[in-house]
Chain A
Amino acid sequence: MLDVERVRVRELLEQAKTYRKRGDALRRVGRENEALEAYRGGLVALTDALKILGPTKEQIAARSPPATSLPAELKEGLDELVEVFGARGGMLQRLNLLKEASESYSEGAVLEQRFGLPSTYNQLNAVKYSLLSGAGRLRDFEPQLHELAVHLDTNLRADKSFSDSGWAWADLGDCLALLGKPDEAREAYLSFISKAEIKSPERTLDVLKEIALRLEELADPDAPRLRAAINILESGISTQ
């Protein structure tokens, strides 16, 4: 990837972030049509970023893992691709295009898994949106969630800069909460709240509430795990 393309991808990711924040703000004050317009703007930016990353994606597909064996330029491209798939999934979900959101997360998840990246954002969201779309019961995803929790725990212990990221702790908290381990989830969520920006836990809470409602609608016997997670996160935020 040329330097100018790399700069353009970063610029598009930043643009998408601004569209997303604008959309979220407008949705909160009830200006739904303008919010949808903002999310669509963000989706265009992320689709453009994916187009630029197309040749990088092909080069990466032809390479063998792990990510550490990739030339620096391709490793950077891999990180950008994973970030774009994750951000695109979030934008599609806000547009209520759950199937497309799940596909975008799945594409990112394949890369995260294949190259053993420390981040699990796409993998965990692929599970969350499978739950939201009713693709299975919470119990069906336990092996996957357990694997993600072990992977996150190992990397959080080994990698100081990864451990500085609030989002990695949020992912670990979510995995443990979904696995029905509230005490361990509490520890992870407290680290998340401490390290993240002030607004971040609210977004996590919104997603957990959405999944809880869906599982309750589907009479999933493990739906109470989500309610427990919501309580933990809410009490963590209020006592901070």
Chain B
Amino acid sequence: MGGIQAAHRPVAEALKTIADALHHSQQGRKAMPQIPFHGSRVVKQESERAALELRIAAWLYLEHRIRLPKVKEDAAMRELFRELGRAAADALYDLGDIESIDFADYINEQVKRLG
């Protein structure tokens, strides 16, 4: 008998999928929002913000639960860490308050450290 599908997706990937559905990190380049009622500023603001918080949660999970040495060993996880980090940092810079800028700088440093 071959392998069976995992009962659940890895946590960081699952969070990223939900975040992408709310606001895709490449949306600015390619397409329009996928959420209903995207014409409403409030709805769009909330979905972009929720996507950011989910990406931060996923990134912190990789950083503190999986830990960087293990992330570094696995090419797919490394890419996920980098992708989540960049999307989160970009959105934090857009928020523009000092705490968000500092946190975005921290994320970028950690992503750079990983290589």
A interface residues with partner B (beta carbon < 8 Å): 14, 17-18, 21-22, 24-26, 28-29, 161, 164-166, 193-200, 237, 240
Contacts and interface: CB of A to CB of B under 8 A. Distances in A.
B62 interface: no
Which 4 residue pairs across A and B have the least CB separation, nearest first?
A21-B93, A240-B41, A195-B32, A25-B93
Nearest to B111: A18
Given A22-B104, A25-B101, A26-B101, A197 B27 contact: yes
B6 interface: no
Contact of B93 (A14, A24, A240): A24
Interface of B: 23, 27-28, 30-33, 38-41, 44-45, 48, 86, 89-90, 93-94, 96-98, 100-101, 104-105, 108
17 contacts: A14-B86, A18-B90, A22-B101, A22-B104, A24-B96, A25-B96, A26-B101, A28-B96, A161-B31, A164-B32, A165-B30, A194-B38, A197-B33, A198-B41, A198-B48, A240-B40, A240-B41
Contacts, number: 64
Contacts of B94: 21, 25, 199
A104 B100 CA distance: 32
- B interface secondary structure, majority: helix
A18 B101 contact: no
Given A165-B31, A198-B44, A200-B28, A29 B86 contact: no
B114 to A, nearest CB: 14
A182 to B, nearest CB: 21
A195 B33 contact: yes
Task: Name which of B45, B48, B93 has the most chain A CB atoms within 10 A of its CB.
Answer: B93
A195 B38 contact: yes
Given A195-B38, A240-B41, A29 B90 contact: no
Nearest to B42: A240
A197 B28 CA distance: 6
